């Protein structure tokens, strides 16, 4: 796509010499010269209008590619590169893909980052011939296929949204002194479903928002694309960047186009949009208009995101493995562990909820009420899941029909989805017992019944049970629906019977028993009699009807006007039948278009119903409980479990997961009976050896928070969570070599982002801060970080560390408590109990863990010797007045020039050299002054 003018429609001449390759290419055909032919001129003109796309040039049953496009496509698709004729004295490279396999090849190109301009034949070759024997078929680009504008079922992941996102605003680098002042607006449209999201956020939050959206394509102006931070954020999210002119970001045009798409005169009913947001909306709608050649997409009312959702930055999303693991595997993620949905639309809705947990307790409680209702009515839950299992993806069928790319199965999808919607609504109504349905399920029921019944009736009357994929194949309309269609089909299917009936009538009328109606490819249908029986047909009055056509050695052939007319009807019957089916298809698609809003609402209701039933099934299967969410500062999880690890253990080993409690605030509530043993503090310092389960414990509490605020039951015995506004997790680290960052630098950047953004309503998960540098440096950073979280951010936090010196903070600061992972020692080894208990670890058990890992015995033995010597040399605590009296490592640090334990000090040396009996009073006084000076000097050198 051109940056200056994305699309210019071509206008080929009305009359041109015939194209040399109006047939599919095949090996062995003679080469044809394209030198200055109108056909090649047509191709070059259309290609010039689409320089940034691979041009798929429709020629008969193939999409052909020429010149550089052919070379590129042949390499990307692993198809044969051939050549066809010459252009300006050079061979023309060419390759092609058959039309019936176009989606397969298109998908491969899009996945590799290419964009494709699809150039179709706009008329039948027969129409072109009417303009003259040398006319060329009219062609033009009907669509630009890009990663963010896919609608075909074969090109999309049924369980994932495919957003086209426009980003407008200033990057963090634009305000170097205060990056937080940079603001960006995002407009994200999934044209395969019509879902539309709009938000204005801090540029610091952009990477996390892009990870959440996971857009297929990101639109931005050159000024923003020049910022490498932005480009890396897009790459991190897996999206492809597309530069577009700055002029596309026009708030006035955005307002106008959004009104047109929504069919309203005022946008006030959808909330107040900022100028940045309207500019981003304008860009995304302009891009869609250009790539879809003016066809308007189905767009639902824009959904505002931002403060209404729990913010999770990019690093935390990766660390927590919400929708995919660090290796890219979805099955090992939180989504993979809790997904029990049975429809593609339901899976997309669940993904959206995991990616965007709520921060409004009332909205969360409404979702939990819906899950509770289905959980308490097992039969209703099972019936709904059985019904939904065969429900098609209505949300994606509607846009395809709207764009004119739909087929008979999309019509059937609407029909079957409406049938399922009616049955689901009836189930919800019948299930209403002494208690009314919760508001969420009431809303779903009302949306399921909002579509006019006449539409479902019309589709059911018109369509066969199992229609073909393509409308050009015909055969999707029921017999008896349209009389003209039935007549055309009868003529097409029963031509032999029709001719047999005509033959019998002619025999009766002429009395010639040997008369036959026959057919060949030269004459078509004709009447044939033997030479002996031809005379009656050549004499009046029969000769007026039976016209002589051909005399053979033993037979004479005739024709009648009736026979020729019937032949014409038979020849055109298939075409007529197909034409009538196309008209019926268009009429039904138009009826669906008039009910788009209601159908979209029904599609959303079916997806939500699938999610609620799936979450209820999950809670029943795994023994999850309903959490309490409110605006308090509570964070009390009893018997918490890691949802992913628990299921993995059950599958692989059949082992039980060890439950653990976490109390970072009770919100004023009393502790449950039997659960008073753990401290209640806003920050827990978690110590214990490696492999003891610290990281699992940290992550599981973050994941329980996500599940609770998305409206799901949680893996715990009980959970009370005061709403978390921002969730930060820094567990594990790795080098970022592409950006020149070491592991420690990555750790510090992520820690800085946490400390700069955390609030008293945030939840912070930190593991091993400061371990990537020297001991004193790392301990200092960890110490200061904990103090900052406690005294300034005031966030709820879990801080895992191997710096046992940090545990002294629990004695100095009221809001900090120590807990440790319990282990048992047995026969010179350790057993991990994976249980959190009060207190601090007395050592790290690093050597024992190393032994379990398989280090050679000689290394383990030597390590023990070195450790013993280091511990003896380091146990010299000292108290001072700087507030760091509990830091043995610091107290062990001896200032430069200070005496060692075996070396006497200057004062000691002076006293040893003195002989008091030999000193006069004056000399003794001078020695006292000298001793005092040495003592003061030594005091100044102490740390």
Q: What's the pLDDT tens digit per position in 266-301? A: 998 888 899 999 999 999 999 999 999 888 888 998
CA 473 to CA 518: how far, in whole Å? 29
Q: Flag whether pLDDT at 15 surpasses 70.
A: no
For position 19, what pLDDT does the model report? 37
The pLDDT of residue 171: 63
Residue that wins the pLDDT comparison between 347 and 882: 347
Average pLDDT over residues 823-835: 77
- DSSP for 494-539, written as a single string: THHHHHHHHHHHHHHHH--TT-EEEEETTTEEEEEEEGGG-HHHHS
Residue 888 has pLDDT above 60, yes or no: no
688 labelled ligand-binding? yes
Go through the chain and tell me how many residues it has: 943
591 pLDDT band (50/70/90 cuts)?
very high
Q: What is the pLDDT of residue 22?
A: 35
More confidently predicted of 60 and 116: 116
Residue predicted with more confidence, 16 or 794: 794
Average pLDDT over every residue of 354-368? 96
CATH topology for 628-843 is Rossmann fold (3.40.50)
Structurally, at CATH architecture level, domain 339-474+595-622 sits in Orthogonal Bundle (1.10)
| Contacts (Cβ under 8 Å, ≥6 apart) of 498 | 491, 566, 570
Please report the pLDDT score of residue 367 as a whole number.
Answer: 98
What pLDDT digit, counting tens, does each position of 689-729 carry?
Answer: 877 888 999 999 999 999 999 999 999 999 999 999 999 99
Q: What pLDDT is recorded for position 305?
A: 76
> What is the torsional sign of CA 577, 581, 582, 584?
positive
Calpha distance 353→303 (Å, rounded)? 13
Is the pLDDT assigned to residue 653 strictly greater than 90? no
Domain edges within the chain = 38-145, 154-306, 339-474+595-622, 485-582, 628-843, 906-940
Sheet harboring 516-520: ordered strands across? Answer: 516-520, 524-530, 555-559, 547-551
pLDDT value at 95 more than 80: yes
Question: Residue 319 — φ and ψ, nearest 5°?
Answer: -65, -40
CATH number for the domain whose boundaries are 485-582? 1.10.1420.10
> Is the pLDDT at 798 greater than 80, yes or no?
yes
Q: What is the pLDDT of residue 736?
A: 47
What pLDDT, on the 0 to 100 scale, is given for residue 769? 84
pLDDT of residue 87: 77
Q: Is the pLDDT of residue 482 over 50?
A: yes
- Dump pLDDT digits (tens) for 36-80: 577 788 889 999 999 989 999 998 889 999 999 999 999 999 999
38-145 folds as MutS, DNA mismatch repair protein, domain I (3.40.1170)
Q: Helix, strand or coil for residue 894?
A: coil
Provide CB contacts within 8 A for 20, sequence distance 6+.
Answer: 32, 33, 34, 37, 39, 84, 85
pLDDT surpassing 70 at residue 175: no
Report the percent of the chain where pLDDT is more than 70.
Answer: 86
Confirm whether residue 692 is marked as ligand binding. yes
pLDDT given at position 746: 80
b/e map 8-40, b = 16+ CB within 10 Å: eebebeeebebbbbeeebeeeeeeeebeebbbb
Per-residue model confidence (pLDDT) at position 676: 60
Q: Is the pLDDT of residue 242 over 50?
A: yes
- Annotated ligand binding at 695? The verdict is yes
Q: What's this model's pTM, rounded to 2 decimal places? A: 0.81
Residues 6+ apart with CB under 8 A from 142: 118, 119, 120, 293
Higher pLDDT, 473 or 912: 473
Q: How confident is the model at residue 943 (pLDDT cuts 50, 70, 90)?
A: very low
- CA-nearest of 337, 390, 370, 330 to 159 is 330
Tell whether 902 is in a known binding site. Answer: no
- Amino acid 572: pLDDT: 82
Q: Do domains 154-306 and 485-582 have the same CATH topology?
A: no
Residue 684 tokens read as: 């827990």
Instruction: Name the DSSP letter for residue 481.
Output: S
* Between 520 and 933, residue with greater pLDDT: 520
Query: Is 273 within 8 Å of 281 (Cβ atoms)?
Result: yes
Predicted confidence at residue 174, as pLDDT, reads 55
How confident is the model over 423-451, as pLDDT tens digits? 999 999 998 666 689 999 999 999 999 99
Residues 6+ apart with CB under 8 A from 227: 171, 172, 173, 174
% pLDDT > 90, the chain: 51
pLDDT at 197 over 70: yes
Give the per-residue pLDDT at 843. Answer: 66
Three-state SS at 632: coil
3-state secondary structure of 796: strand
Q: For the ranges 552-561, 618-627, 662-671, which has the lowest average pLDDT?
A: 662-671
Give the per-residue pLDDT at 882.
45
Rounded to whole angstroms, the Cα distance separating 910 from 215 reads 78
179, pLDDT greater than 50: yes
Buried b (16+ CB within 10 A) or exposed e, 674-694: eeeebebbbbbbbbbbbbbbb
Give residue 681's region: left, alpha or beta (phi > 0; psi -120 to 50).
beta
Residue 602 known to bind ligand: no
Q: What value does the mean pLDDT take over residues 233-249?
A: 91
> Residue 942's pLDDT is what?
52
Q: Pick the more confident residue, 833 or 342.
A: 342
Q: What is the predicted pLDDT for the residue at 675?
A: 58
In the prediction, which pLDDT does 704 show? 98
Q: What is the pLDDT of residue 681?
A: 92
pLDDT at residue 883 greater than cutoff 70: no
Question: pLDDT tens digit string along 723-774?
Answer: 999 999 988 655 444 454 567 788 888 888 899 999 999 999 998 887 767 6
- Between CA 679 and CA 685 the distance in angstroms is 11
- The larger pLDDT score, comparing residue 472 to residue 66, is at 66
Quickly state the pLDDT bin for 495 (edges 50, 70, 90).
confident
Confirm whether residue 690 is marked as ligand binding. yes
Domain 154-306 CATH superfamily: MutS, connector domain (3.30.420.110)
828 pLDDT band, cuts 50/70/90, is low
pLDDT at 671: 61
- Work out the pLDDT band at 223, boundaries 50, 70, 90: confident
Asked whether 455 and 595 are in contact (CB, 8 A), the reply is yes
Which residues are CB-contacts of 138 (< 8 A; sequence separation ≥ 6)? 12, 121, 122, 123, 128
Q: Say what the pLDDT of residue 7 is.
A: 37
Most confident of 462-466, 486-490, 495-499, 889-893: 462-466
Distance in angstroms (rounded) separating the CA atoms of residues 630 and 807? 31
Read off the pLDDT of residues 533-569 as tens digits, 9 standing for 90 and up: 898 899 899 988 999 999 988 899 999 999 998 888 8
- What are the residues facing 772 on neighbouring strands? none
Q: Provide the mean pLDDT of the chain.
A: 84
């Amino acid at each position: 796509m051109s940056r200056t003018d994305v699309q210019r429609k071509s206008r080929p001449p009305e009359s041109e010499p015939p194209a040399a390759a109006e047939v599919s290419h095949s090996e062995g055909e003679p080469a044809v010269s394209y030198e200055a032919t109108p056909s090649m001129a047509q191709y070059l003109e259309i290609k010039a209008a689409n320089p940034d796309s691979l041009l798929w040039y429709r020629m008969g049953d193939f999409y052909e590619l020429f010149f550089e496009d052919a070379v590129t496509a042949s390499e990307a698709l692993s198809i044969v590169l051939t050549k066809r004729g010459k252009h300006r004295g050079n061979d023309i490279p060419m390759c092609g893909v058959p039309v019936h396999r176009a989606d397969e090849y298109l998908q491969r190109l899009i996945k590799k980052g290419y964009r494709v301009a699809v150039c179709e034949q706009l008329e039948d070759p027969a129409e072109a011939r009417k303009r003259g024997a040398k006319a060329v078929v009219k062609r033009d680009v009907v669509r630009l296929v890009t990663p963010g504008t896919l609608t075909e079922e074969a090109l999309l992941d049924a369980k994932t949204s495919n957003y086209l996102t426009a980003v407008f605003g200033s990057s963090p680098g634009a305000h170097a002194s205060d990056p937080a002042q940079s603001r960006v607006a995002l407009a994200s449209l999934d044209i395969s479903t019509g879902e539309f999201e709009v938000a204005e956020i801090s540029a610091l939050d952009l990477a996390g928002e892009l990870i959440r959206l996971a857009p297929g394509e990101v639109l931005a102006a050159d000024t923003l694309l020049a910022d490498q931070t932005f480009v890396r954020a897009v790459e991190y999210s897996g999206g492809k960047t597309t530069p577009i002119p700055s002029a596309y970001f026009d708030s006035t045009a955005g307002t106008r186009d959004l009104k047109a798409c929504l069919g309203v005169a005022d946008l006030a009913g959808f909330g107040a949009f900022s100028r940045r947001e309207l500019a981003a909306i304008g860009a995304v709608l302009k891009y869609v208009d250009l790539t879809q050649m003016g066809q308007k997409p189905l767009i639902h009312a824009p959904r505002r995101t931002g403060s209404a959702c729990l913010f999770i930055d990019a690093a935390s999303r990766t660390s927590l493995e919400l929708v995919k693991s660090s290796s890219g595997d979805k099955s090992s993620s939180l989504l993979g562990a809790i997904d029990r949905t049975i429809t593609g639309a339901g899976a997309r809705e669940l993904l959206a909820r995991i990616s965007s947990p709520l921060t409004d307790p009332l909205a969360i409680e409404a979702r939990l009420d819906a899950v509770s209702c289905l959980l308490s009515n097992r039969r209703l839950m099972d019936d709904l899941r059985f019904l939904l299992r065969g429900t098609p993806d209505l949300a994606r069928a509607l846009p395809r029909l709207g764009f004119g790319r739909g087929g008979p199965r999309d019509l059937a999808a609407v029909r079957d989805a409406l049938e399922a919607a009616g049955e689901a609504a009836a189930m919800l109504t019948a299930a209403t017992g002494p208690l009314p349905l919760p508001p969420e399920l009431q809303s779903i029921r009302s949306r399921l019944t909002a579509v006019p019944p006449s539409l479902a009736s019309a589709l059911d009357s018109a369509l066969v049970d199992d229609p073909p994929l393509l409308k050009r194949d015909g055969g999707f309309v029921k017999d008896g629906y349209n009389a003209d269609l039935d007549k055309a089909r009868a003529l097409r299917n029963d031509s032999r019977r029709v001719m047999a009936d005509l033959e019998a009538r002619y025999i009766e009328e002429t009395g010639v028993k040997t008369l036959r109606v026959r057919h060949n490819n030269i004459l078509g249908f004709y009447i044939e009699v033997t030479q002996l029986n031809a005379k009656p047909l050549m004499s009046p009055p029969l000769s007026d009807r039976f016209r002589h056509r051909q005399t053979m050695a033993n037979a004479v052939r005739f024709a009648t006007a009736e026979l020729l007319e019937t032949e014409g009807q038979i020849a055109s019957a298939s075409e007529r039948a197909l034409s009538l089916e196309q008209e019926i298809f268009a009429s039904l698609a138009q009826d669906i278009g008039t009910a788009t809003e209601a159908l979209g609402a029904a599609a959303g209701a079916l997806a939500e119903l699938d999610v609620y039933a799936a979450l209820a099934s999950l809670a029943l299967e795994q023994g999850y409980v309903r959490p309490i969410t409110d605006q308090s500062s509570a964070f009390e999880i009893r018997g918490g479990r890691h949802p992913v690890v628990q299921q993995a253990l059950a599958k692989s080993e059949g082992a039980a997961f060890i439950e653990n409690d976490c109390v970072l605030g009770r919100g004023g509530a009393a502790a449950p009976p039997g659960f008073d043993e753990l401290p209640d503090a806003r920050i827990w310092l978690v110590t214990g050896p490696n492999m003891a389960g610290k990281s699992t414990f940290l992550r599981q509490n973050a994941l329980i928070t996500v599940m609770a605020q998305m409206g799901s039951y949680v893996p715990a015995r009980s959970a009370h969570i005061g709403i978390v506004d921002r969730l930060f997790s820094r567990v594990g680290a790795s080098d970022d070599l592409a950006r020149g960052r070491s592991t420690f630098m990555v750790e510090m950047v992520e820690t800085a982002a946490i400390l700069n953004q955390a609030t008293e309503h945030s939840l912070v998960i930190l593991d091993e801060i400061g371990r990537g540098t020297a001991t004193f440096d790392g301990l200092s950073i960890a110490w200061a970080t904990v103090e900052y979280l406690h005294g300034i951010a005031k966030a709820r936090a879990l801080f895992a560390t191997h710096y046992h010196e940090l545990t002294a903070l629990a004695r100095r600061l009221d809001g900090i408590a120590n807990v440790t992972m319990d282990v048992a020692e047995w026969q010179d080894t350790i057993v991990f109990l994976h249980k959190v208990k009060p207190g601090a670890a007395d050592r790290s058990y690093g050597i024992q863990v190393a032994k379990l890992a398989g280090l050679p015995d000689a290394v383990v033995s030597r390590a023990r010797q070195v450790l013993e010597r280091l511990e003896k040399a380091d146990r010299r605590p000292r108290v001072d007045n700087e507030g760091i009296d509990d830091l043995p490592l610091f107290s062990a640090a001896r200032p430069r020039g200070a005496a060692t334990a075996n070396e006497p000090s200057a004062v000691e040396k002076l006293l040893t050299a003195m002989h008091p009996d030999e000193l006069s009073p004056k000399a003794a006084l001078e020695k006292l002054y000298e001793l005092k000076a040495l003592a003061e000097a030594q005091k100044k050198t102490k740390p």
